Chain A
Amino acid sequence: LAKTTQPISMDSYEGQEVNITCSHNNIATNDYITWYQQFPSQGPRFIIQGYKTKVTNEVASLFIPADRKSSTLSLPRVSLSDTAVYYCLVGETGGGNKLTFGTGTQLKVEL
């Protein structure tokens, strides 16, 4: 499994765009990049997943450069409710493959 490195914490203010970058230098050909969000005392919630280039959904965008050795989760116009831990996971998503969580990035959004 590809190891990931992401900042331990980030601070932002309401209305700002937040970009969380994840490094995964030894990503394999079959690996996808998946981001989850976790609030205290709740389960991880799927945000977005991608393989290459750019993926966008209603809550976030995921930017993946051509070499795929990093990825950036972009949260547009964050609010207080976006305060959470964000996890970057890299691995094969087929079959019953388990997810391996790191320590994630604690995002704190203030007024």
Chain B
Amino acid sequence: EPEVTQTPSHQVTQMGQEVILRCVPISNHLYFYWYRQILGQKVEFLVSFYNNEISEKSEIFDDQFSVERPDGSNFTLKIRSTKLEDSAMYFCASRGGDTINQPQHFGDGTRLSIL
């Protein structure tokens, strides 16, 4: 069964540094998402992406965050200047076409630790 893959599985970064989290969505999927989950808390929506542009973003997704689909297979989340509170699991998800009942499929996440 096709799956969403994320790299790295764990990223440790100094506060203030830039970090890029990478995702390979399921082939032929058209909608892409990033979510995060702080330890012990709910899964939170960050951003959705379709047709090479952001569809929706949450309040969390401020100017420090950006997303990109640099080629036909990768989908990245960049945090420009990391803060301690950015420490969390970051999940990428993708969804197929426009059929209304197609679910989102998630990767197993990148654990981001900010020191």
Contacts and interface: CB of A to CB of B under 8 A. Distances in A.
Interface of A: 32, 34, 38, 41-46, 49, 51, 87, 92-103
A44 B43 contact: yes
Contacts of A93: 100-103
A98 B101 contact: no
Interface in B41-69: 42-45, 48-50, 55-56, 58
Interface size class of B (residues with CB under 8 A): 20 to 34
Given A46-B105, A95-B55, 12 more contacts: A41-B111, A43-B4, A44-B91, A51-B101, A92-B100, A93-B103, A94-B98, A95-B31, A96-B31, A96-B55, A98-B33, A99-B93
A87 B35 CA distance: 15
Q: Is the interface of A mostly helix, strand, loop or mixed?
A: loop
Contacts of A96: 31, 33, 48-50, 55-56, 95
B73 interface: no
A43 B31 contact: no
Contacts of B100: 32, 92-94
B17 interface: no
Contacts of A100: 45
Nearest to B107: A43
A94 B35 CA distance: 18
A43 B108 contact: yes
A7 B35 CA distance: 23
18 contacts: A32-B101, A41-B89, A41-B108, A41-B111, A42-B108, A43-B107, A43-B108, A44-B106, A46-B105, A49-B101, A92-B100, A96-B55, A97-B48, A98-B45, A99-B33, A99-B35, A99-B45, A101-B44
Contacts of A99: 33, 35, 43, 45, 93, 104
Interface string B88-99: 010101010010
